Structure 1
């Protein structure tokens, strides 16, 4: 964990201090489905759709037109939902888990840089810090009882692997719109304070975002100054 934190600080510093040599900023919003693996301890629990959303910003250092390494800061709402098929009063069990995530990874943009549309592949890891959420059971009458997720979980830090596949559309030089399919595979065993089954995280979603390079921002600022002078 310490090595990953040191690497995170290193790449953040690299992205900030190397602006003239190929830095870029990328914003992204993702929506999709998340679930947990390991805590479905009986056949009465059936997986149900659990919406997940993540949004944030990454700083990338472009080594060339095809390879970049970046670090981001994201808010991510995850967890899982189960339908309960038995005679209990509860109809569903939900666990909403909110994280501040720090993804670190490489982005490979394929093809000729002169092409308007280029495929891209992202690979890396992510560390998440549990900051909120609610864990509860809900009945058919929308009556629920639960507790804050930060209180019921003894594991407050999650980590796993990220992968993405999509394409970038060049709007103008130094500015692209990005569309990706994103997958997260948790590797940390999350444990409860109570004697309940532990679990790992999974989620998959579609994202929309943009990337703008340092040179493009300088050109835009130059044009704005020129307009004000006129």
Structure 2
């Protein structure tokens, strides 16, 4: 009898942070622990890296193809990042919302602003902060994949990215990865229960108490 109370619109869950603050790891852990969340697959102009699969990791397109998608209005949001462009295709997002599925976005503040403008009521925005700038630099260096020049560039961009934290609904400090993931999961659980997203409640309550009320 209580099935209608579980019907809801999907969520658009945004995770943003400066590079090295842990959002990609948090996203992976959330996806592994919650089968109802799927990752948004962005289109990008950057080259495919070893091991990446087209249409699974990204939709890899050239500049002309990306321009055509912009002209056709195919993106919910798009933004330049580190010399390349990234964009979220519109059709899969709308399908997921309608079907009550949740999509996770690993995008920056520029993409978040555009996504909020287009899909504001369905957006749950979370910004991840590092515990300190020293720790952020340590995490970047511990990857062992970036040159000193790249790390310096990422650190210089970090302060600018962090300055946009007040634009997000939720702000978490990633001192402990497991604890931060637990906090993200708690946010998602609460957002799923919001009255405005539970589209079956009106019918359920009307049947529960009768039309006279």
Shorter-chain TM-score tier? under 0.3
Higher relative contact order (CA 8 A, sep 6+): 2
Which is richer in strand? 1
TM-score by length of 2: 0.23
